[in-house]
Amino acid sequence: MSESHSPAQPLIFWFDDPQRVPADVADWLMEMGSMTRRFEKQGVTVTVKPKCECFVTRAELGTSEAEQLPESARYWVREVVLFGDDEPWLLGRTVIPEETLTGPDLALVDLGTVPLGRYLFSNDTLTRDYIHLGQLHHEQGDLWARRSRLRLSDKPLLLTEIFLPESPVHRPDSKVHNG
Ligand code: PHB
């Protein structure tokens, strides 16, 4: 049933007022291009390890998550850990209503270790409705998060990204070192 396929969602506090996010952090969170590319500019090799790729029902989504997406019988969920070299930098969770998985976008169920951004940002039908900035309490400290509702050919998907303690988002002094 659901538990093993749809792990409990961390409770993220989404800011009404994004001004509460420090400017150096907001600079990362408001990245409008591919976060994978932005990370690569830090001079690391980015790898993505899928943790779960499966269909779930609407009841299995987080409440706040379901509110961002239209009703659908099933949603494709992809959860990954993104590594910068060997450090875990980001947790990514993508929720895609089944109706979005039409035509070429059915490729989204076959991404495996290919970073999502490689698909999204090479697609000229991509648009973004909004980015929400947020924070969550974690055993390793408070972590920053963001979620974007994106559209491919006007069909919605929701991407939530949690930035882990070792990511440059939490190390604002980190420098680009590959030009
Ligand atoms: C993914 O491959 O699912 C992915 C990659 C990078 C992100 C978010 C999600 O920033």
Structural domains of the chain sorted by starting position, each given as residue range(s) with its CATH number in brackets: 11-170 (3.40.1410.10)
Nearest CA owner, ligand 1 atom 9: 92
Going by DSSP bridges, is the β-strand pair 155-163/141-152 parallel, antiparallel, or unpaired? antiparallel
pLDDT at 139: 84
Q: Is residue 169 lining ligand 1, measured as CB closer than 6 Å?
A: no
Q: Is residue 152 lining ligand 1, measured as CB closer than 6 Å?
A: no
> Could you list the pLDDT tens digit for every one of the 179 residues in the chain?
333 345 567 899 999 888 889 999 999 999 999 999 999 999 999 999 999 999 999 999 998 999 999 999 999 999 999 999 999 999 999 999 999 999 999 999 999 999 999 999 999 999 999 999 999 998 878 999 999 999 999 999 999 999 999 999 998 655 444 43
Among candidate residues 104, 95, 103, 87, the one with its CA nearest the CA of residue 52: 95
**Which tokens belong to 40?**
């690569």
Q: Is residue 94 lining ligand 1, measured as CB closer than 6 Å?
A: yes
pTM (2 d.p.): 0.92
End-to-end CA distance of the chain: 48
pLDDT at 154: 98
Beta strands across the sheet bearing 141-152 = 13-14, 126-138, 141-152, 155-163, 87-97, 75-84, 46-56
**Which tokens belong to 125?**
């039908």
Judge whether 147 and 161 are in contact, CB under 8 Å.
Answer: yes
Mutate to test the pocket of ligand 1, among 44, 90, 121 (most ligand atoms within 8 A of CB): 90
Judge whether 75 and 125 are in contact, CB under 8 Å.
Answer: no
Give the number of the atom of ligand 1 that is nearest the alpha carbon of residue 78.
Answer: 3
Nearest CA owner, ligand 1 atom 3: 116
Q: Is residue 115 lining ligand 1, measured as CB closer than 6 Å?
A: yes
Phi, psi torsion values for 156, nearest 5 degrees: -80, 155
Distance of CA 122 to the CA centre of its chain: 17
Nearest CA owner, ligand 1 atom 10: 35
The span from the CA of 170 to the CA of 141, in Å, is: 10
The span from the CA of 128 to the CA of 140, in Å, is: 31
The residues facing 144 across adjacent strands are 135
User: How many angstroms separate the alpha carbon of residue 23 from the centre of ligand 1?
Assistant: 23
The span from the CA of 153 to the CA of 32, in Å, is: 18
User: How many angstroms separate the alpha carbon of residue 161 from the centre of ligand 1?
Assistant: 8
pLDDT at 67: 96
Q: Is residue 48 lining ligand 1, measured as CB closer than 6 Å?
A: yes
Going by DSSP bridges, is the β-strand pair 75-84/155-163 parallel, antiparallel, or unpaired? unpaired
Judge whether 112 and 79 are in contact, CB under 8 Å.
Answer: no
